[in-house]
Amino acid sequence: MNLLELQRKFTEALTTPLNSDEGIGERTLRGESMQQVAEEIVKPNDRLSSVERLEIYSRSYWFRILSSFNEDFVGLRAVVGDKKFDVLAEAYLAENPSRSFTLRNLGSRLESWLRANPLYTHPHEALALDMVRLEWADTECFDAAEEPILAMEDLAGLGEDPKLRLQPHVQLLDLNYPVDTLLLQIREADDQESDEASNTFAEQRSRSRLKSVRKSKPKPRFVVVHRFDQLVYFKRVTAEAFRLLTALRNGKNISEAIDLAFSPSTRSEITIMELVQRWFREWAEWGWFSGPSKPLVS
Q: Where are the beta strands (DSSP E) in the chain?
A: 164-166, 171-175, 221-228, 231-237, 289-292
Partners of residue 225 on adjacent β-strands = 171, 234
Distance separating alpha carbons of residues 233 and 76, to the nearest angstrom? 19
Whether residue 123 is preceded by a cis peptide bond, meaning omega within 30 degrees of 0, is: yes
Sequence spans of domains, the chain:
3-142, 146-177+218-292, 182-217
Would you write out the chain's pLDDT as a tens digit for each of its 298 residues? 889 989 988 998 988 999 888 999 899 888 899 999 999 999 999 999 999 999 999 999 999 999 999 999 999 999 999 999 999 999 999 999 988 889 999 999 999 999 999 999 999 999 999 999 999 999 999 999 999 999 888 877 788 888 899 999 999 999 999 999 999 999 988 776 555 555 565 666 677 788 888 888 999 999 999 999 999 999 999 999 999 999 999 999 999 999 999 998 888 999 999 999 999 999 999 999 996 544 444 4
Cα–Cα distance for residue pair 65/99, rounded to 1 Å = 12
Rounded Cα distance between 9 and 38, Å, is 9
Please give the model's pTM, rounded to 2 decimal places. Answer: 0.88
Largest CA distance in the chain: 84
Report which of 92, 233, 255 is spatially closest to residue 163, judged by C-alpha positions.
Answer: 255
Distance CA 241, CA 172 (A): 11
Which CATH code for domain 146-177+218-292? 3.90.930
